Amino acid sequence: MQQALKAALKVLQPGGRLVAISFHSLEDRIVKQFIAKHSREVVDRRVPFAAPQAMHLEAVARVKPSDAEISANPRARSAVMRVARRTSASYEAVPA
């Protein structure tokens, strides 16, 4: 899953959206942490006056199924869809 998210970030154009649907809490945690990691500026503590590396994703939404959808499809109750938008920051600075 982590390799797929990294690959998606490489090919995603600025303004493009990354959408991941997870059906298990461990999968959701991986996606949530990936988006959080790439949604903040990275400041090098050893060089505090240097410009921070820009964020590469902007978290947009977390969507869970509605009650009507859960009643129609009970297996959908654990699904979580997370959406993030790619910023215009270049990919060369993406941390591993």
What residue numbers bound the domain in which 64 lies? 2-91
Residue 32 lies in a domain: yes
Q: Positive or negative, the Cα torsion across 67, 71, 72, 74?
A: positive
Assigned domain for 54 exists: yes
For 66, the enclosing helix (H) or strand (E) is none
Number of domains in the chain: 1
DSSP 2-35: HHHHHHHHHHPPTT-EEEEEESSHHHHHHHHHHH
Q: Is 30 exposed, middle or buried (0-12, 13-18, 19+ CB in 10 A)?
A: middle
Does residue 96 fall inside a structural domain? Answer: no
CATH number of the domain to which 25 belongs: 3.40.50.150
Is 23 within the bounds of a domain? yes
Q: Are 21 and 69 in contact (CB under 8 A)?
A: no
Residue 81 lies in a domain: yes
pTM: 0.76
What string of pLDDT tens digits covers the 96 residues of the chain?
889 999 998 888 888 999 999 999 999 999 999 998 888 776 767 776 766 666 788 888 899 999 999 999 999 999 999 999 988 876 554 555
Residue 50 lies in a domain: yes
